[in-house]
Structure 1
Amino acid sequence: MSTIGTFKTVGDEFHGDVFTLELQLQGVRFVPTTDRTGENAPSHLVYAGRVEIGVAWPQKTGDGRPYHSVKFDDASLSNPINANLFKDEVGDGRTLIWSRPKPPKAVKA
């Protein structure tokens, strides 16, 4: 797991930066959607400047801690990047965590 971003709460949005070897983004914003159509619809759209670069959904950990599951996708990326945005234990900050997806389990014949 790696921290790839830090964010602060600004009104009902989250503002911060995302840094990986492929992404060097300042001024990233998580903006609540105003027309969420159902439980499975994203709760936030993610922007870098005026460009929509991702979406986020509310989730809960096994012990009930809320977080947002985030998917970054853009034509400049070779593959989407999945991460999780957790509220910091102290203050109004949030931390964006990336971890490598687990490979699918082999199916026994």
Structure 2
Amino acid sequence: ADKDGFTGTLRTLTLNVKVKLVPNDKGDNEKAPDFRLQAAGHDIGAAWKKTSEAGREYISVTLDDPSFPATVYARLIEGESGTHDLIWSRSKPQAA
């Protein structure tokens, strides 16, 4: 993390891209994201600062790209020695 947001690499079985969480100018919109998630200068998601019920701060991230079968919802949490980990879980299908 730095004053300009966060930078890192998003790695999955099919992806290996440099990404950056860039602070978002929210203006007067309280619900606007705190950050925009960018890869190669293109927006691929958004992120909001949150606090868990246990009082731990994290960043709630949504990732969306035409190559994804669905929007990915994740949490960016502080890990060891100043690093951060992006944790996600697959959403469960809803009963019809």
Q: What secondary structure, in the 3-state scheme, does the structure 1 residue paired with 2:81 have?
A: coil
Which amino acid letter does the alignment assign opposite residue 17 of structure 1?
A: T
Q: What secondary structure, in the 3-state scheme, does the structure 2 residue paired with 1:30 have?
A: strand
Contact 1:36/1:42, CA 8 A, preserved across alignment: no
TM-score, normalised to structure 1's length?
Answer: 0.75
The structure with the largest alpha-carbon Rg is: 1
| In 1, Cα distance between equivalents of 2:93 and 2:77 | 24
Q: What secondary structure, in the 3-state scheme, does the structure 2 residue paired with 1:40 have?
A: coil
Higher strand proportion: 1
Partner of 1:28: 19
Alignment partner of 1:73 out of 56, 60, 64: 64
After superposition, what is the alpha-carbon deviation per residue over 1:40-85, rounded to whole angstroms, capped at 9, x for unaligned?
2100000011111100011111111111110001122221111100
* Residues 1:18 and 2:10 are matched in the alignment: yes
| In 2, Cα distance between equivalents of 1:86 and 1:74 | 22
Per the TM alignment, residue 92 of structure 1 is displaced from its structure 2 partner at its CA by: 2.5
What percent identity do the matched residue pairs reach?
37
* Residues 1:93 and 2:67 are matched in the alignment: no
Q: Gaps spanning 5+ residues in structure 1: where? A: 1-8
State the Cα RMSD in Å: 2.0
Alignment partner of 1:40 out of 8, 26, 31: 31
Partner of 1:4: none
Contact 1:44/1:55, CA 8 A, preserved across alignment: yes
Which amino acid letter does the alignment assign opposite residue 89 of structure 2?
A: S
| In 2, Cα distance between equivalents of 1:70 and 1:45 | 9
Task: Give the length in aligned residue pairs.
Answer: 96
Higher relative contact order (CA 8 A, sep 6+): 1
Over 4 Å off, 4+ runs: none
